[in-house]
């Protein structure tokens, strides 16, 4: 098949990789429906995908990964910059030459008997000044079909790139799905990614975490922009004005839910609306007017299925009703559809679990994950256009102006429901000290508290202290046009461990306060950590919560925060001399404020 470009840097790279892995044939993905449909049929014929009930779920398929391959693998993820110093203390590092040699040994001849698919893709609307191009080669149809949902794929991307060398080399090889030889490697100085021995989304859809965060964060540092692990939403008021918020939370803290929030009835009636731009990644640049503009580089949602239901996230569930690929969910044989824990209370009685084994609902035990029908990290890959609240700005290349940046995490006791930083620098400090409990999105222990600066711990492609400095530098450039920075915590618990704040759609009440603060319309109380709302300024209409309870989750407890400050100091030690002086000053200020 003819190549879709004459770009020599691309053709040479493909030749070189083909000589290494020796595919039977090379197929360029042109983005046409005919080609994609033929690939779907092939995947069904080989058993790689199951075609679901086309009346109930048109265009939907089910895929199962190898049970040893169900999550991102941070311990096997490497930033292969030229020096260890450039990768910093929070990344695994390996010398690039050594890693190339090792990976080429693993991948050598591995496409024999297989097809090499070449996927030209754009992160961001094709041709947008904020977009970037990548080419992924893979021996997996599943990867091709997922990339088609998650990015913009096809010939047009090559036309826009022309002869430029500014594209990211994404090389994936399934090999034997051997967990001992699984590597997810980024080479920031070479614009290159290599992933071997995995077939799971986050490890193989190389446009997402590998490119749009790890490589792009490095590019943003060098080129003066930001690639962040953030959702983007637009909040429309009854006057029809839309303000945009970008929010960073660690994996599985409800970013997708917040991005697609449905306001409480009384606010909906008044005319408030939420528009989704993105649920996971934001690329942000300073626009001509000096404000910070954001695009979502992705074109779909790779969402966690368990827990998604009509109440928790109606819009996400709607997004999965057509042209969606489900991964590692339960297969309901009754009507050839899918199910996962938390979808509804109707446990299927005739079903196969995520591994494909007959599933016995009578054995289901919430406390025992081995009895679950769907893997806790099972996913849907759904086109963004399916989302009922997708923003009219989603496909526009200019991006949307960000009024507020919001940080948050899953920490039961410490942070109040919401507070505003005292300045951009103070906001960077808050982001740098973010912490959360780990979840099932990454392999490893669940429920452990870890510091996750700006939710970028597994995704920052360079030295985290340089990343903090880059944030400070961006603030300096933005000056008084900088977005205001906030922190939220939906997850404070009572003595029995129950969440106090209702969360979900009711988070809109907090977003409204945030926007009011940005516009100078709401008051606040200055505390040691930042500006906390006056309780009466968080609207509790129709909510089964009294003001005393609200006051409770707005408190800043001195002792808790003294402990927190000590932990932040410990966390900062990792960065040694490289930690920006400004952040040391911020920590000292916090301690001094607490002592007052």
Residues that bind Mn ion (CB under 5 A): 251, 280
* Number of chain positions touching ligand OXD (CB under 6 A): 5
- 409 scored as a contact of ligand OXD (CB under 6 A): no
Q: How far is the CB of 254 from ligand OXD (least distance, A)?
A: 12
Query: With CB cut-offs between 5 and 8 Å by kind, which of Mn ion, ligand OXD, none does residue 431 bind?
Result: none
Say if CB 258 and CB 507 are below 8 A apart.
Answer: yes
Question: Which x/- pattern over 358-387 shows residues binding ligand OXD (rule: CB under 6 A)?
Answer: ------------------------------
- The angle subtended at Cα 570 by Cα 567 and Cα 573, nearest 5°, is 155
| Neighbouring residues of 520: CB distance < 8 A, sequence distance ≥ 6 | none
DSSP-assigned states of every residue in 183-204: EEEEEGGGTEEEEES--SHHHH
- Which strand (E) or helix (H) includes residue 588? helix 581-595
Give yes or no: 414 in active site: no
Query: With CB cut-offs between 5 and 8 Å by kind, which of Mn ion, ligand OXD, none does residue 243 bind?
Result: none
Query: With CB cut-offs between 5 and 8 Å by kind, which of ligand OXD, Mn ion, none does residue 17 bind?
Result: none
- Which strand (E) or helix (H) includes residue 123? strand 115-123
Measured from the CB atom, the residue of 259 and 579 that comes closer to Mn ion is 259
* 3-state secondary structure labels for all residues of 52-100: CCCCCCCCCEEECCCCCCCCECHHHEEECCCCHHHHCCCCEECCHHHHH
Q: How far is the CB of 59 from ligand OXD (least distance, A)?
A: 23
Q: Which of 149, 173, 384, 441 binds ligand OXD (CB under 6 A)?
A: 441
Query: With CB cut-offs between 5 and 8 Å by kind, which of Mn ion, ligand OXD, none does residue 202 bind?
Result: ligand OXD
Residue 588: C-alpha distances to residues 227, 310, 466, 526 (Å): 29, 46, 20, 17
- 251 scored as a contact of ligand OXD (CB under 6 A): yes
Q: How far is the CB of 92 from ligand OXD (least distance, A)?
A: 17
Q: How far is the CB of 182 from ligand OXD (least distance, A)?
A: 16
Q: Which of 88, 188, 199, 202 binds ligand OXD (CB under 6 A)?
A: 202
Question: Which x/- pattern over 256-295 shows residues binding ligand OXD (rule: CB under 6 A)?
Answer: ------------------------x---------------
Question: Which x/- pattern over 52-91 shows residues binding ligand OXD (rule: CB under 6 A)?
Answer: --------------------x-------------------
* 3-state secondary structure labels for all residues of 310-350: CCCCHHHHHHCCCCCEEECCEEECCCCEEECCCCCCCCCCC
Q: Which residue is nearest to ligand OXD (CB)?
A: 251
- 438 scored as a contact of ligand OXD (CB under 6 A): no
Q: How far is the CB of 279 from Mn ion (least distance, A)?
A: 8
Q: How far is the CB of 229 from Mn ion (least distance, A)?
A: 6
Measured from the CB atom, the residue of 280 and 564 that comes closer to Mn ion is 280
| Neighbouring residues of 220: CB distance < 8 A, sequence distance ≥ 6 | 226, 227, 283, 470
Q: How far is the CB of 501 from ligand OXD (least distance, A)?
A: 22
> What gap in Å lies between CA 65 and CA 328, rounded to an integer?
7
Residue 95: C-alpha distances to residues 9, 72, 105, 315, 586 (Å): 24, 22, 16, 44, 35
- 453 scored as a contact of ligand OXD (CB under 6 A): no
> What gap in Å lies between CA 74 and CA 92, rounded to an integer?
9
Say if CB 305 and CB 329 are below 8 A apart.
Answer: yes
- 487 scored as a contact of ligand OXD (CB under 6 A): no
- 204 scored as a contact of ligand OXD (CB under 6 A): no
- 527 scored as a contact of ligand OXD (CB under 6 A): no
The catalytic residue among 253, 414, 460, 518 is 253
Q: How far does Cα 182 stand from its chain's mean position?
A: 22
Q: Which residue is nearest to Mn ion (CB)?
A: 280
3-class secondary-structure state, position 405: strand
- The angle subtended at Cα 233 by Cα 230 and Cα 236, nearest 5°, is 160
Write out the catalytic residue numbers.
Answer: 253
User: Which residues of this protein are in contact with ligand OXD, per CB under 6 A?
Assistant: 72, 202, 251, 280, 441
């Amino acid at each position: 098949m003819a190549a879709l470009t004459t770009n020599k840097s691309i053709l040479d790279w493909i030749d070189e990789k083909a000589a290494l892995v020796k595919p039977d044939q090379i197929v360029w993905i042109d983005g046409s429906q005919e080609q994609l449909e033929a690939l779907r049929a092939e995947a069904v014929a080989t058993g790689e995908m199951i075609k679901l009930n086309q009346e109930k779920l048109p265009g939907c398929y089910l895929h199962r990964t190898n049970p040893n391959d169900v999550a991102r693998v941070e311990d096997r993820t490497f930033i292969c910059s030229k020096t260890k110093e450039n990768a910093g203390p929070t990344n695994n590092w390996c010398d690039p030459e050594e890693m190339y040699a090792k990976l080429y040994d693993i991948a050598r001849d591995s496409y024999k008997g297989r097809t090499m698919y070449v996927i030209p893709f754009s992160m961001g609307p094709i041709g947008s000044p904020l977009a970037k191009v990548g080419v992924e080669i893979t021996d997996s149809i599943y990867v091709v079909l997922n990339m088609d949902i998650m990015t913009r794929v096809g010939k047009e991307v090559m036309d826009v790139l022309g002869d430029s060398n500014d594209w990211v080399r994404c090389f994936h090889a399934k090999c034997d799905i051997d967990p001992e030889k699984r590597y997810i490697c980024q080479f920031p100085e070479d614009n290159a990614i290599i992933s071997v021995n995995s077939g799971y989304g986050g490890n193989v859809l190389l446009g997402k975490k590998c490119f749009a965060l790890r490589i792009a964060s490095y590019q943003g540092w060098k080129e003066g922009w930001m690639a962040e692990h953030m959702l983007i939403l637009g909040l429309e008021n009854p006057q029809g004005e839309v303000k945009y918020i970008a929010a960073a939370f660690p994996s599985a803290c409800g970013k997708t839910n917040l991005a697609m929030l449905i306001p409480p009835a009384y606010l909906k009636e008044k005319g408030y609306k939420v528009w989704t731009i993105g649920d996971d990644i934001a690329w942000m640049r300073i626009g001509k007017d000096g404000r910070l503009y954001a695009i979502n580089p992705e074109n779909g949602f790779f969402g966690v299925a368990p827990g998604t239901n009509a109440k928790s996230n109606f819009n996400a569930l709607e997004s999965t009703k057509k042209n969606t690929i489900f991964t590692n969910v339960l297969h309901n044989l009754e009507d050839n559809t899918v199910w996962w824990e938390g979808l509804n209370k109707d446990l299927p009685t005739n079903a196969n679990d995520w591994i494909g084994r007959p599933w016995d609902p009578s054995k289901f035990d919430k406390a025992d994950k081995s009895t679950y029908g769907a893997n806790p990290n099972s996913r849907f890959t759904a086109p963004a256009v399916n989302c009922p609240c997708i923003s009219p700005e989603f496909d526009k290349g200019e991006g949307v102006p960000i009024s507020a940046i919001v940080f948050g995490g899953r920490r039961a006791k410490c942070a109040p429901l919401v507070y505003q930083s005292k300045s951009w620098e103070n906001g960077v400090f808050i982001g740098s000290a973010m912490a959360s409990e780990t979840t099932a999105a990454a392999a490893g222990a669940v429920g452990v508290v870890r510091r996750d600066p700006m939710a970028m711990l597994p995704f920052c492609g360079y030295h985290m202290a340089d990343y903090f400095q880059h944030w400070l530098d961006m603030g300096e450039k933005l000056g008084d046009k900088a977005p205001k920075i906030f922190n939220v915590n939906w997850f404070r618990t009572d003595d029995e461990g129950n969440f106090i704040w209702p969360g979900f759609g009711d988070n809109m009440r907090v977003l409204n306060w945030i926007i009011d603060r940005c516009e100078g319309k709401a008051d606040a109380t200055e505390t040691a950590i930042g500006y906390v709302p006056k309780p009466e300024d968080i609207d509790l209409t129709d909510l089964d919560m009294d003001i005393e309870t609200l006051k409770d989750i707005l408190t800043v407890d001195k002792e808790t925060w003294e402990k927190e400050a000590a932990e932040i100091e410990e966390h900062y030690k990792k960065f040694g001399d490289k930690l920006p002086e400004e952040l040391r000053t911020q920590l000292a200020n916090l301690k001094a404020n607490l002592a007052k």
